[in-house]
């Protein structure tokens, strides 16, 4: 029998309680699962930062924390957390991101806005290049970036990817390391950022980097707000260096009313919906990971606390 604390919002608890109980039963794990367990009895925590738990010191027999979110920047530097932290890598989350990214890349690639927004009765044809002639850069080749890049590669896009360490992925020209970023940016007509928010990635797309892109490039950011220097992006949009940006994540969320992104004609704002953690599949993923560790197997997707992701 293990005791698992669910620490997230009450709405999340309503959505997760049943699938989590079913998933632990399927794993053959007897569990006491709740939102209000005595800290000193808790073995595992299933966690999202919006549950308000920030001090892990009372959890004296805690074995690990399974995050419900893929992004862990709000917990990774918490000094009171001394046990392993696993991030969420889940088929439902991945598939959702693939669909969102492919949809927004195709919007740009096909120039869909020109047709969708046309109401002037003009019969104007515009012919996009075939995908094989459209260089797309995926910054971040982790669980989500790789799946998105593979889906775009399957549509024949000229796919380039960038990561910290070396990667080999069929159909994708892979680059790694800071000194290769300018190369990949110099040809990319569409850039997608699926990097974590860490000290090393903060303001990665600053004015200098945005200026390396071909004029008129388009940017899609479902990663994290701090990856982009907001003021530099607005300047690049105003000058036409960046033709359009689709932003799902922001330094402050919800994006404050009155923020220039809301009204900029060349920005699409989406409210951090690129991919939600889906309770049914995420509950299975969380229960399976905790069950693995209970059976003595290594916990999967453990965050490197030094790297911050």
Residue 139, H or E segment: strand 135-139
Residues 147, 126: Cα–Cα separation, whole Å? 30
Q: Which is nearer to ligand NDP, 163 or 241 (CB)?
A: 163
The residue behind tokens 């994540």 is 249
Catalytic residue among 164, 180, 272, 305: 272
Going residue by residue from 53 to 82, which x/- string records binding to ligand NDP, judged by CB under 6 A?
A: -----------------xx-----------
Q: Which is nearer to ligand NDP, 19 or 223 (CB)?
A: 223
When asked if residue 195 is in the footprint of ligand NDP (CB under 6 A), the reply is yes
Catalytic annotation on 224?
yes
The length of the chain is: 309
Count of residues that interact with ligand NDP, criterion CB under 6 A: 30
What are the Cα distances from residue 223, in Å, to 44, 62, 226, 235, 261? 27, 30, 9, 21, 17
Spatial neighbors of 185 by CB under 8 A, at least 6 apart, are 137, 191, 209, 212, 213
Least Å from the CB of residue 81 to ligand NDP:
17
CA angle 136, 139, 144 (to 5 degrees): 100
Exactly one of 8, 33, 102, 141 binds ligand NDP (CB under 6 A); which one?
Answer: 141
In this chain, which stretch among 60-68, 101-109, 127-135, 162-170 interacts with ligand NDP, using CB under 6 A?
A: 162-170
The DSSP output letter for 306 is T
The DSSP output letter for 77 is T
Catalytic annotation on 54?
no
When asked if residue 246 is in the footprint of ligand NDP (CB under 6 A), the reply is no
Residues within the interface to ligand NDP (CB under 6 A): 70-71, 89, 93, 140-145, 163-165, 167, 194-198, 200-201, 222-224, 248-249, 272, 274-275, 309
């Amino acid at each position: 029998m293990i005791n698992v604390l669910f620490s997230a919002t009450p709405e999340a608890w309503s959505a997760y309680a049943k699938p989590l109980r079913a998933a632990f039963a399927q794993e053959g794990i007897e569990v006491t699962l709740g939102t209000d367990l005595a800290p000193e009895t808790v073995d595992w925590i299933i966690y999202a930062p919006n549950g308000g738990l920030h001090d892990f010191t009372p959890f004296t027999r805690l074995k690990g924390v399974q995050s419900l979110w893929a992004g862990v920047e709000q917990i990774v530097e918490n000094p009171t957390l001394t046990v392993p932290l696993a991030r969420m890598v889940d088929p439902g989350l991945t598939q959702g991101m693939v669909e969102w990214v492919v949809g927004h890349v195709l919007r740009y690639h096909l120039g869909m806005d020109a047709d969708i927004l046309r109401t002037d009765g003009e019969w104007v044809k515009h012919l996009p290049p075939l995908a094989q002639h459209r260089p797309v850069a995926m910054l971040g080749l982790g669980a989500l970036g790789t799946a998105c890049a593979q889906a775009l590669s399957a549509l024949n896009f000229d796919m380039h990817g960038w990561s910290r360490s070396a990667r080999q992925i069929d159909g994708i020209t892979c680059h790694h390391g800071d000194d290769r970023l300018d190369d990949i940016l110099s040809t990319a007509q569409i850039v997608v950022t699926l990097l974590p928010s860490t000290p090393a990635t903060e303001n990665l797309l600053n004015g200098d980097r945005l200026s390396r892109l071909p004029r008129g490039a388009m940017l899609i950011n479902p990663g994290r707000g701090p990856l982009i220097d907001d003021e530099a992006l607005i300047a690049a949009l105003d000058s036409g260096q960046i033709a359009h940006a689709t932003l799902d994540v922001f330094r402050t969320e919800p994006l404050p009313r009155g923020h220039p992104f809301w009204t900029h004609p060349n920005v699409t704002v989406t409210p951090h919906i690129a991919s939600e953690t889906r309770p049914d599949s995420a509950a299975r993923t969380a229960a399976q990971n905790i069950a693995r560790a209970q059976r003595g197997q290594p916990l999967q997707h453990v965050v490197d606390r030094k790297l911050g992701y």
